[in-house]
Structure 1
Amino acid sequence: MKENKNWLSKVELCKELLEADGDRVVLFIMDIDHSKDIFGQSINQKDLDYILKSFNEVFTSEYSSFSQIGRDAFAGMFTCDKDYSLFNLMQQKQTFQSLLNNELDISQLTVCMGVSIYPEMCKKKEELFSFAYDALFSAKLKGPDNIEVSTSENMKLKSLYFRKSQLDKLSFFSNRTELSESEIIRKALDDYLNKHMYEN
């Protein structure tokens, strides 16, 4: 069984995602509810160490890794077999919360969680983070202590305009990377929103 003694960076976690070897890959993003009321402006190293320890106790599988991606936001990935269900994940979430409450002597710590699973909910491993962020947004809209899974529903935005120079650069970059123009725009929007909403 793989053990993680330290947090990975988000870049390292993304690399682990792409290299994960298993039937299914689960990525979750977890945000601690009302964290400033509990920890103050920052989470001290002792508490971070215990959060990592709890991740490893609750979510570790044959292949798993964890990252702190924001002040109070964390990401975890692990592989699982076809028998693993979202009910299992909900139970793990509750166990994780109980561990933190007991160890940190807190009675009301809860988290919101956004989940994406490859290949059922996300056909490309590269998109797991984007889908999990979307699910986290939905969970947080519903209030504390919620968990949501990603969906692949697509919608169009009619009132969208670009400068000619932007479209020229977009076309050039698309040809150079073999990504479609729409994929590049969606990725850029995800990167911008996720960075400013969760990773600061």
Structure 2
Amino acid sequence: MEKYTDTMTHLHNNKALELNVQALLKKEDNVAIALIDVDHLKEINDELGSEKGDEVLQKLAAAFAKLAPDQAYRVSGDEFAIVMPGLTLEQAFLKMELLRTSIEANQHYGLPDNWLVTVTIGVAQYPRDAKEYQALNRAADAALMTAKEIGRNQVALPPTEEMVMKSCYYSSISLRRLKQLAEGLNKKESLLLREALDDLFKKYDKR
């Protein structure tokens, strides 16, 4: 229906997001939500024109829709959401990290070569971070703010989350070393794991 669709990107809109997530929370054991902010869209609009900005939004929207058919949303001007039913927080984080790196690596947005399109993403999950929609949305927004604060072009979890991966994936020695390293560098454990993922993708993912 038109009232639940964003006219420019043809994605679901914010109203549809709320209704659909509320419905999913009643029937799914796990529901993750990612809020996605297009980095520096205002600068693109101001310096290259709003038509270029709209083109970026439309191409990103198409990528989001391809990744999450029927679960991609345009929340506001430069903010999108992807809902991931059935995923744990760790699985959702990894899925969004792959999306982030793919967007950064594939610059087909019709902009001059000196412009780089990137996204910043905050991820939260029901029931781990919240028990109802409004609280879940706030948790994802807090994660998004964290990602912006540490430099954009990041994927982050709510500030209360310390670990990205389940502890059973690692030995107690590895977890202890990670904790010590994070404390020594004054960084979150999740950020160090993201940096390790970046190195892994650079080494093995040749796409």
The equivalent residue for 1:117 is 125
User: What is the letter of the counterpart of residue 51 of structure 1?
Assistant: L
Provide the secondary structure at the position in 2 that maps to 1:102: coil
CA contact (8 A) 1:65 1:78 kept: no
The question of 1:52 aligning with 2:68 is answered no
Deviations 1:95-133 (A, max 9, x none): 23434x224346521121111111122222332111111
Deviation at 1:93, TM superposition (A): 2.0
- 2:194 aligns with none
Which has the bigger relative contact order, CA under 8 A and spacing at least 6?
A: 1
Distance 1:31 1:79, change over 3 A: same
Distance in 1 of aligned mates of 2:132 and 2:160: 12
Report the secondary structure of 2:143's partner residue.
Answer: helix
The SS at the match of 1:54 is helix
Any conservation in 2 of the 1:55–1:96 contact (CA below 8 Å)?
no
Q: 1:35 to 1:88 in 2, by over 3 A?
A: same
Deviations 1:144-191 (A, max 9, x none): 2122111459xxxxxxxxxxxxxxxxxxxxxxxxxxxxxxxxxxxxxx
Which residue identity lines up with residue 90 of structure 1 in the other structure?
E
User: In structure 2, which of residues 96, 102, 106 is the aligned counterpart of residue 95 of structure 1?
Assistant: 102
Partner of 2:79: 73
- Give the equivalent residue in structure 2 for 1:35: 41
Does residue 142 (structure 1) correspond to residue 146 (structure 2)? The answer is no
Q: Which amino acid aligns with 2:82?
A: G
* Equivalent residues of 2:100, 2:153 under 8 A apart: no
Contact 2:55 2:109 in 1 (8 A): no
Question: What residue is the counterpart of 1:14 in the other structure?
Answer: 18
Counterpart Cα distance in 2 of 1:113 and 1:53: 17
**Displacement over 6 Å in runs of 4+:** none
**Structure-1-length-normalised TM-score:** 0.61
Structure 2 residue aligned with 1:86: 93
1:27, distance to aligned residue in structure 2 (A): 1.0
The answer as to whether partners of 2:31 and 2:125 remain within 8 angstroms in 1 is yes
Shift in CA distance, 88/75, structure 1 to aligned 2, threshold 3 Å = closer
Identity %: 20
Gap regions ≥5 residues in structure 1:
154-200
Residue correspondence of structure 1 range 161-180 to structure 2 within 5 A: none
Whether the 8 Å CA contact 1:30–1:73 is kept in 2: the answer is: yes
Q: How much does 1:85 deviate?
A: 4.8
CA deviation digits over 1:35-88, x for unaligned, max 9? Answer: 222233746544332221110122x16x62312x23222222121345825223
Aligned to 1:131: 139
Residue number in structure 2 paired with 1:25: 31
